[in-house]
Amino acid sequence: MEPLFIPVFYGSYRRDRLGIRLADYAVGQLRDRAHRSELVDAKAVGLPMLDRMYKEYPEGEAPPEMEAVAEILRSADAFVLVAGEYNWGMQPGLKNLTDHFLEEWFWRPAAILSYSAGRLGGARSSYAWHPTLAEMGMVVVPSTVAVPQIGATFDENGNPRGDAGEAVSRGMDKTIATLEWWASAAKEHRKIQKPAF
């Protein structure tokens, strides 16, 4: 398979972030499969609460950090979102980052990796992201990873541990394989037919 570019997006702003372990693990797993990947950390990017979308700036006048993310989006073959759950919903940091862009997301697949401190592994956050990503022009692949009790499932070095860690590893393999299929298919079809915007 031709290597793909699959960035991983993460959105927690908390001081003691545990979901970053899952995000870093996802980047590593993608690289182990010979794909190019990088972490896009909403906190590190530091976009303000949404005022103007990227497309609302005159060409060349968007803030540099916004321009950098736009370039990553335009170059990507697929996306991975690491979605924590806050009060049965989305993390505001990740949602704010994604909302700054629209057309840049179009016509590529996305996979959702969810997590929480509780037993449901961020399932309600994952569920909330599906219609949002569809509205943003993405196909959400059916395979997913839901990580319960994130602090117990990954050690301090970001390695999965215990039975839950083994389940994460198996789920990650299936999710990446599914994402590869959709990303490769979309990439080939874009060569044949330019998407209509």
Which pLDDT band holds residue 197 (cuts at 50, 70, 90)? low
The per-residue pLDDT for range 67-125, each reduced to its tens digit, is 999 999 999 999 999 999 999 999 999 999 999 999 999 999 999 999 999 888 999 99
Query: What is the reported pLDDT for 168?
Result: 95
The per-residue pLDDT for range 17-69, each reduced to its tens digit, is 999 999 999 999 999 999 999 999 999 999 999 999 999 999 999 999 999 99
- CA 121 to CA 34: how far, in whole Å? 28
CA torsion through residues 74, 139, 79, 131, sign: positive
Mode of pairing for the β-strands spanning 79-86 and 108-115: parallel
Structure tokens belonging to residue 89:
């919903």
- CA 116 to CA 121: how far, in whole Å? 5
Query: For the whole model, what pTM was predicted?
Result: 0.95
* Element (DSSP H or E) covering residue 83: strand 79-86
Sketch out the chain's domains with CATH numbers.
8-192 (3.40.50.360)
- CA 197 to CA 53: how far, in whole Å? 17
Among the listed residues 6, 10, 3, 2, the one whose alpha carbon sits nearest the alpha carbon of residue 122: 10
What letter does residue 41 receive in the DSSP assignment?
E
